Copies of this chain bind each other. A is one copy, B any other.
Amino acid sequence: MLNPADETLVARLPEGVLRPLTPAYLEEPRRRVQGRAGLVAAPRNVDEVAAVVRACAEARVGIVPRGGGTGLVLGQVLPDIPPGGPAPLILSMERMTALRGIWPEENVLIAEAGMTLQAVRDAAEARGRLFPLSLASQGTAMIGGCLSTNAGGVTALRYGTARALCLGIEAVLPDGRVVHDLKRLRKDNTGYDIRDLLIGAEGSLGIVTAASLRLVVPPPQTGVAMLQVPDPAAALTLLALAERHMAGGVTAFELISGQGLAFLTETLPEIRQPLPGVPWSVLIEVGLPEGLPADQALEGFLTEAMARGLVLDGVIAQSGQQAADFWHLREHIPEANRRIGAIASHDISLPLSEIPGFIQAAGAAITARTDARLNCFGHLGDGNLHYNLFPAPGRNRADYDAERKALSEMIHEMVMARGGSFSAEHGVGRLKLGDLERWADPARLAAMRAIKATLDPLGIMNPGAVLAPARG
């Protein structure tokens, strides 16, 4: 049943863009909130996206952009309809899945926003190239969402976040104008960086409809190892040693805690663990030039690391299968976490040298206040930790309802006091609006609000995401 605003809106939409509003459009992965919406539109091309945006602007209907729906900060769901306002329209990119072109000799590909990250990676691989962005959710996450949230993942250490992999965009601005800027250029200094403004804006300044993406030639030699380290401080010294040995060839450097391994043992016992039960370990992947076999390079590195006491034990993958097994373990830590059921999750980053002190101080503070279990893991090479709390054995999530907020605030305070970030790679969405208000530099926040107000004066673009709606 449509309300009057929707009837006007429907009449203005391009023919055939509407889709049935099924529950899947209203979900987010952790199922903590349920979105609300009036209509779902799935345009087939950028002109239809522009037409939908213009129609929504005329009808003053909010737009909630939707990619693969894998975001973790509620950027893709609007749970509360503004009082008196019409329900928003969900703008799904699911039909814009074309590979517009690939130029392997240029290391460039142009993808529409609805291509999954996996599809982009596959398209590159089919032409002998690598699109290096890699996330656990890559089979579902769409490239438009990856850009709109500046996704990070496990290879950011070497290749950067999504931002660093984007050369140009096509996007629809809140007034329906289309930015056509799908350049295949490495250098283009012609005015303000509108591309990077839309990247990471989580759909609140416009809709990214396509992007030209940077590919790389896959390294001829790759190697993976799992290494037991004495503690996080040693892991950081080990990272510096790896960087010195590998000349930029460290692709990933992931920290794994003993609690993470224990959760895997508990929930996914079929996953093989090469270093079972160790308190701290690291998964390292390297990609190296022709003429330097990866196992040889890793062995030289490991010999020095063990001599210096930075590594206590280690396994270098002896086959592609074993390397895949190591990654399989790492990538199932979030799944094990889901099965245990987190009390609270924190996607934090810290200056590298602050990490050991933070892990020690925050761990002690948590132990002093609660019996919750802690799983601290993540992309150590980027200073990015997933710092998550779980119920003690025999208790459940709801038992911690009273202390959740205070624990999270304590953790964020300790992070921010060390020059860190309360959202390293997931974004702000609607979940972290309060954190942004509290922690962002005031002048930067004022500039953000001014830009939002000037580009989206009607406030229709992903209302309430990143910035709270302007108070009237």
Inter-chain CA distance A237–B192, complex, in Å, is: 33
Stretch at the interface among A54-62, A88-96, A212-220, A338-346: A212-220
Inter-chain CA distance A157–B214, complex, in Å, is: 12
Inter-chain CA distance A381–B217, complex, in Å, is: 14
- Give 1 or 0 for each of A157-199: 1 = CB within 8 Å of chain B CB: 1101101100000000100011111011111111111101101
Instruction: Give every chain B residue within 8 A of A291 (Cβ-Cβ).
Output: 245, 292, 296-297, 300
Instruction: Give every chain B residue within 8 A of A18 (Cβ-Cβ).
Output: none
Q: Do the beta carbons of B382 and A191 come within 8 Å of each other?
A: no
Q: Which residue of chain B is the closest to A177 with respect to CB atoms?
A: B443
Instruction: Give every chain B residue within 8 A of A445 (Cβ-Cβ).
Output: 191
User: Nearest-CB distance from A192 to chain B (Å)?
Assistant: 5
A470 CB within 8 Å of chain B? no
Instruction: Give every chain B residue within 8 A of A139 (Cβ-Cβ).
Output: none
A152 CB within 8 Å of chain B? yes
A152 and B187 contact, Cβ closer than 8 Å, known pairs A106-B353, A108-B351, A466-B192:
yes
Of the candidates B106, B193, B351, B452, the one whose C-beta lies within 8 Å of that of A185 is B351
Inter-chain CA distance A163–B195, complex, in Å, is: 13
A349 and B185 contact, Cβ closer than 8 Å, known pairs A190-B421, A249-B289:
yes
Please list the residues of chain A having a beta carbon within 8 angstroms of any beta carbon in chain B: 103, 105-108, 149-150, 152, 156-158, 160-161, 163-164, 173, 177-181, 183-194, 196-197, 199-201, 205, 216-217, 219-221, 236-237, 240, 243-249, 287-292, 296-297, 300-301, 349-353, 379, 381-384, 419-428, 432, 435-436, 439-448, 450-455, 466-467
15 cross-chain CB contacts under 8 A: A156-B187, A158-B248, A179-B444, A181-B441, A181-B444, A185-B419, A191-B440, A191-B445, A217-B247, A219-B248, A221-B247, A245-B289, A245-B291, A247-B288, A249-B249
